[in-house]
Amino acid sequence: MRIANQETLVSSELSLEKMTEERKKKLSEWWDSDAFKEFQKANEEARQRAIGKYHMLSEEDKVDMVEAITYIMCKAESEGCSHRGLQSALGIYPAGFWVDHLMDVHNALWTYYHDKKSDRELKSDLDTLDSFLEKNDEAADESGNVEGVDHTH
């Protein structure tokens, strides 16, 4: 099992500003505990094992793995998935919750695809407005009003 680091846990799942003082104290005690230090150690060992396994792959297998993972992640994110949805798409839910930096990647991709969608929607809205104004101008030209449609009626 992989355990996310303290920063990832705080940024992804907990908002310290919204916590009660008692909860903040308990969380701080947890982070200072030997048990949490063991979790951090286990996480680092798991990460190093995973990196070692990756580097033992042939170049062809590495390319295949990177191709598969990036395709799966980008497809899921472009469809607007949640962090849990990304884990499910990768086939690693619920253990994927503990993969360090997965939330960072999810947030970055979500922002990228959200902004891309917003840009497309804005362009579509502007195209619709341009089309409306062109039709408005054509109607004005047909009525003989060169300044545009007379809106004083």
Please tell me the distance from the alpha carbon of residue 42 to that of residue 90, in angstroms, as a whole number: 22
pLDDT of residue 152: 54
pLDDT tens per residue across all 153 residues of the chain:
444 555 555 554 556 667 788 888 888 898 899 999 998 899 899 999 999 999 999 999 999 999 999 999 999 999 999 999 999 999 999 888 878 788 899 999 989 999 998 999 999 999 999 999 888 888 877 776 655 555 555
pLDDT of residue 4: 53
**CA dihedral (82, 86, 88, 89) positive or negative:** positive
The domain limits of the chain are 1-56, 61-153
